[in-house]
Structure 1
Amino acid sequence: MSINSESLAQQLKQARQRQAWSQLALSLHLGVSQRHISFVETGRARPSRPLLIRWLEALSLPMSTCNALLQLAGFAPMFSARPLQDPHLEQARTALSHLLQSHDPQPALVIGAQWDLLQLNRGAQWLAETLMPELFASAPFRPNMLDLVLHPQGLMRYVINKEEAAADFWAQLRRDLVDQPELAPKVDAFVEMFAPLLQASGDNQGPTFINPLLTLRFLTGHGELAFFRMFSTLGSPHDITLASMRVEHMFPADEHPRAVLQKHVIRTTGLVA
């Protein structure tokens, strides 16, 4: 949901309609009259902060949207948005580091709300440097994943099954754009760059059987390396930064990438197999 010049009343009404709530159903859920719901949605009344918080929770709106609407109503925000290095997030940082380390030598990375690449384990660092040595020549370099996808020397240059990958990225971007309207310029650039692939994906009816997991296939100096992915998120976060993060775990799709990782990540970094 994009927070723009529209009034609080308009945005609450639009959010209710997107969630397919009727005014009556919402009023019963919140314990107020349908008339009050109507008055708020037409700008004739304003809810109290406790009621507005219950209202936003009922509509299952993202934390950042809840904060923005509360501020639009003149109230203090509900959720914090601390940087990842904040001392209050130490437990979460420890958990993330454990996830990354325990997944080595298989690649794993932490991605933020704007697709910023926040952390990589050694497997992910090796894969990134193998695929994109020009971009990862500097050790502290922490790029944005969308920038890597869009860069001429970036990730998509090495993907063999580009059509499948582009369609998968596009599906994820559409979901993320609802909660993160700031992504719009990069999403537009993605659509422009990969329009032929997205068009081909939409026009192709495909086989009767569809692989239940997308496998990303990379062409490297070590031959074809194929991985499927799984995502982890933190349970019940009460901070926007934590709620927006996801950990991407990459698993070898066959024995060859597993053997390559064993050889080049474990042996060169001294990891214990």
Structure 2
Amino acid sequence: MIGTSERGGIAGILREWRGRRGVSQLELALRAGTTQRHVSFIESGRSAPGRGMVIRLAESLGMPLRERNVLLLAAGYAPAYPETRLGDPALAPVRTALEGILRGHQPYPAVIVDRHGDLVSANDAFWALAGDVAPGLLVPPVSVPRVLLDPGGMAPRIVNLDVWAWHVIDHLRGEAARDPGGRLDALVADLVELVPDRPRPGPDHLGFAVPLRLRHGDGELRLLTTLTHFGTAVDVTVAELRLEAFLPADAATAAVLSGGS
């Protein structure tokens, strides 16, 4: 029997995610190795897919592991992907690897965050970069986007806040669309109220994904950001972790971060 959920059971969830991805029933069927007729029957509630088909449909839509479990439950099956606490001994090798990556990124700042942007771990270089962040922003759970964009955080030192803030916000909006949940939507709404209005693009506009320009002493640091995640994780917790690293965009910044000036 087809399971149900607050979003209308597997039929409603499947339609919702197919709409999010902009995928037709035919395209989804081809990806999942089935027929458009079968996908149509599932979405209309006329057919109950097997467990393997549910997993193939979820994979074909690129659904996050957490949402794949939701789809399985809605279809009447047990979740396929465990969600292990990060402190669990089973994830000790993962924690060791992550801490090694953070140390290895020194002397450049790097953080590990969860799906909500909350801090999991950071290296010493990040804390040095954060500097005089208001203590209230560092009370767990620490929201890294808030540390960056809140007036009590790093925002007053960001030279190009009017542009760079929207790079952060647009990324969070994309994450919220891929992994619906509410907390990210609320975070985006809060941050929009904190930062300058989105600037109108001029003739020399290069987009909002620009280097972070951070005041430092009498000059400024110019930093590029990278985001990395586990591409082959089968545990929900691990799959939702993100490494955000800051890299020097010029030689002067590299020298400062390396202690050369």
Q: 1:262 to 1:33 in 2, by over 3 A?
A: closer
Determine the C-alpha separation between the residues in 1 that align with 2:11 and 2:49. 10
Given the alignment of the two structures, is residue 190 of structure 1 paired with residue 191 of structure 2, yes or no?
Answer: yes
Where 1:181 maps in the other structure, the secondary structure is coil
User: Residue 263 of structure 1 corresponds to which residue in structure 2?
Assistant: 259
Among 248, 263, 271, the alignment partner of 2:244 is: 248
Map 1:64-79; keep pairs closer than 5 Å. 64-79=66-81
Determine the C-alpha separation between the residues in 1 that align with 2:255 and 2:26. 60
Per-residue CA deviation, residues 63-98 of structure 1 (Å, 9 max, x unaligned), is: 111111111222111211212222222222122111
Determine the C-alpha separation between the residues in 2 that align with 1:125 and 1:78. 38
What RMSD, in angstroms, separates the aligned Cα atoms of the two structures? 2.8
User: Residue 271 of structure 1 corresponds to which residue in structure 2?
Assistant: none
Among 220, 227, 233, the alignment partner of 2:223 is: 227
User: Residue 143 of structure 2 corresponds to which residue in structure 1?
Assistant: 144
Residues matched between the structures, number: 255
Where 2:85 maps in the other structure, the secondary structure is coil
Tell me which moved more, 173-182 or 212-221.
Answer: 212-221
Higher relative contact order (CA 8 A, sep 6+): 1
List gaps (5 residues or longer) in structure 1. Answer: 266-273
> Under a length normalisation based on structure 2, what TM-score does the superposition of the two structures give?
0.85
Among 8, 13, 16, the alignment partner of 2:15 is: 13
How far 1:211 sits from its partner (Å)?
Answer: 8.2
User: Residue 104 of structure 1 corresponds to which residue in structure 2?
Assistant: 106
How far 1:62 sits from its partner (Å)?
Answer: 1.3
Per-residue CA deviation, residues 111-151 of structure 1 (Å, 9 max, x unaligned), is: 211101111111112111x242x32898x966111332453
Where 2:128 maps in the other structure, the secondary structure is helix
Tell me which moved more, 16-25 or 184-193.
Answer: 16-25
Residue type matched to 1:234 in 2? F
* % identity of equivalent residues: 32
How far 1:234 sits from its partner (Å)?
Answer: 2.4
User: Residue 239 of structure 1 corresponds to which residue in structure 2?
Assistant: 235
Among 192, 201, 204, the alignment partner of 1:204 is: 201
List gaps (5 residues or longer) in structure 2. Answer: none
How far 1:206 sits from its partner (Å)?
Answer: 4.0
Where 2:222 maps in the other structure, the secondary structure is strand
User: Residue 85 of structure 2 corresponds to which residue in structure 1?
Assistant: 83
> Under a length normalisation based on structure 1, what TM-score does the superposition of the two structures give?
0.81
Q: 1:62 to 1:258 in 2, by over 3 A?
A: same
User: Residue 119 of structure 1 corresponds to which residue in structure 2?
Assistant: 121
Determine the C-alpha separation between the residues in 1 that align with 2:212 and 2:149. 16
Among 42, 47, 50, the alignment partner of 2:49 is: 47
Given the alignment of the two structures, is residue 24 of structure 1 paired with residue 26 of structure 2, yes or no?
Answer: yes
